[in-house]
């Protein structure tokens, strides 16, 4: 088969760190073009990938270049319009998370993708970590029994220092839409989508009009519970990303990866002897994600982390922000 022709819109940190280096090395991919509104960044980054044509205007790129797919890694407020333009031009798309600023924009993207029958995927790279995929496989095998409780947290500095990131009109929110949507996406990917009620408290200690910390609980239809906390401000010696799942037959956790199965008298430790370091897991997650995206285009296979799934996450996010705003439990 011919190589899949890919363009990248937005040459910020995530594009420079993972998208471009990985795409340029995939045997099935031809990096055809890049687009970036910052002239100096376009020149500096573009020079590292001389085979890719450079564009200041992404509309010119998608109209002039023969592209099979486009990676959208721009500020969140631009996701909807860029996605709609790419889909109208019959391009498959991968949008960096979150899919959009709000539920309304997400609905527009999903509807457009269905109309033109193109792949629309959202970059939830944490699903593609090797340890995460193994944990999901163990859960699906039934080895842990029926899940009834997940406890998860993510404490780290802000994902971006750019001004738009702390402007609610541009970003859609604070730490909940930055970190919360990722950790909750993993929890729901493992335990299911049958959320019944949401109760969340958020905090804004920096007075930026966006939350810098949030703590909450999701209740499910059959009594399952997910507790979560996310923050850019809570004290932590280092970035802390943790998720622990509890089932009727055992428990498992990430960072580090541990598996315990219940017997009549004790819990047996089935954890692997060796675990990958966080940096390797980060890099591998993006490599797996991009390979999956390209594979879905080339083979017509189902997409993990589709725009349709992202729509359900935006509905949950909507309920979370309502609960936090009104300081009460919200039925989902």
Q: Which stretches within the chain are classed as H helix?
A: 13-14, 20-23, 39-46, 58-64, 79-88, 103-116, 130-141, 168-171, 175, 181-191, 278-299, 307-326
143, pLDDT greater than 80:
yes
Instruction: Specify the pairing of strand 195-203 against strand 213-220.
Output: antiparallel
CATH of the domain at 290: 3.40.50.720
Per the structure, the count of domains in the chain is 2
Same domain, 234 and 272: yes
Domain region containing 276: 127-281+312-331
Same domain, 137 and 269: yes
274, pLDDT greater than 70:
no
Task: Note the pLDDT tens digit of each residue in 221-242.
Answer: 999 999 999 999 886 767 889 9
Same domain, 76 and 163: no
Among 331, 162, 150, which residue's Cα sits nearest to residue 245?
150
Tell me the chain's radius of gyration from C-alpha atoms: 20
Q: What is the mean pLDDT of residues 291-300?
A: 96
Same domain, 96 and 143: no
198, pLDDT greater than 70:
yes
160, pLDDT greater than 90:
no
Instruction: Give the pLDDT band (50/70/90) at residue 265.
Output: low
pLDDT at site 225: 98
Cα 41 from Cα 10, distance rounded (Å):
10
pLDDT at site 61: 98
Cα 178 from Cα 181, distance rounded (Å):
6
Instruction: Give the pLDDT band (50/70/90) at residue 268.
Output: confident
Same domain, 295 and 274: no
CATH of the domain at 178: 3.30.360.10
pLDDT at site 284: 94
Residues in Cβ contact with 207 at an 8 Å cutoff, skipping those fewer than 6 apart: none
208, pLDDT greater than 80:
no
pLDDT at site 194: 94
Same domain, 222 and 144: yes
1, pLDDT greater than 80:
no
Token pair 């998720």 in the structure block, residue: 243
Instruction: Please answer whether residues 125 and 115 qualify as being in contact, where contact means their C-beta atoms are separated by less than 8 angstroms.
Output: no
Backbone angles phi, psi at 76, to 5 degrees: -60, -35
Same domain, 260 and 144: yes
Exposed, middle or buried by CB within 10 Å (0-12, 13-18, 19+), for 307? buried
Same domain, 65 and 77: yes
Q: What is the mean pLDDT of residues 197-226?
A: 93
271, pLDDT greater than 80:
no
Same domain, 202 and 110: no
pLDDT at site 273: 66
Mean of the per-residue pLDDT values of the chain: 94
Residue % of the chain over a pLDDT of 70: 96
Instruction: Please answer whether residues 330 and 198 qualify as being in contact, where contact means their C-beta atoms are separated by less than 8 angstroms.
Output: yes
Task: Note the pLDDT tens digit of each residue in 10-64.
Answer: 999 999 999 999 999 999 999 999 999 999 999 999 999 999 999 999 999 999 9
The number of angstroms, rounded, from the C-alpha of 97 to the middle of its chain's C-alpha atoms is: 5
- pTM metric for this prediction: 0.93
- The half-sphere exposure of 118 on its side-chain side, counting CA atoms within 13 A, is 23
């Amino acid at each position: 088969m011919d190589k899949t022709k890919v363009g990248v819109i937005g040459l910020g940190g995530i594009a420079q760190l993972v998208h471009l280096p990985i795409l340029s090395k995939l045997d099935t991919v031809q990096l055809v073009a890049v687009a970036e509104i910052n002239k100096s960044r376009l020149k500096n980054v573009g020079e590292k990938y001389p085979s890719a044509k450079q564009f200041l205007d992404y509309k010119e790129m998608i109209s002039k270049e023969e592209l099979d797919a486009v990676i959208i890694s721009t500020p969140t407020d631009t996701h909807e319009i860029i996605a709609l333009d790419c889909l109208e031009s019959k391009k498959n798309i991968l949008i960096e998370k979150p899919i959009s600023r709000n539920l309304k924009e997400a609905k527009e993207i999903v509807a457009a993708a269905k109309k033109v029958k193109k792949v629309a995927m959202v970059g939830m790279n944490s699903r593609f970590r090797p340890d995460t995929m193994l944990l999901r496989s163990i859960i699906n095998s039934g080895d842990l029994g029926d899940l009834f409780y997940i406890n998860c947290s993510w404490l780290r500095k802000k994902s971006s220092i750019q001004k738009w990131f702390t402007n609610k009109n541009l970003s859609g929110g604070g730490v909940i839409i930055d970190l919360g949507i990722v950790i909750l996406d993993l929890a729901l990917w493992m335990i299911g989508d049958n959320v019944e009620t949401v109760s969340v408290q958020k905090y804004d200690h920096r007075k930026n009009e966006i939350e810098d910390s949030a703590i909450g609980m999701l209740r499910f239809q059959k009594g399952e519970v997910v507790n979560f906390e996310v923050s850019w401000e809570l004290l932590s010696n280092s970035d802390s990303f943790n998720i622990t799942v509890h089932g009727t037959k055992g428990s498992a956790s990430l960072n580090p990866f541990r598996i315990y199965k219940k017997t009549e008298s004790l819990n047996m430790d089935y954890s692997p002897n060796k675990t990958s370091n966080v940096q390797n897991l980060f890099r591998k997650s993006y490599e797996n994600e991009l390979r999956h995206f390209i594979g879905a285009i080339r083979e017509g296979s189902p997409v993990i982390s589709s725009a349709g799934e992202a729509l359900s996450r935006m509905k949950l996010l909507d309920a979370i922000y309502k609960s936090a705003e009104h300081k009460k439990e919200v039925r989902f």
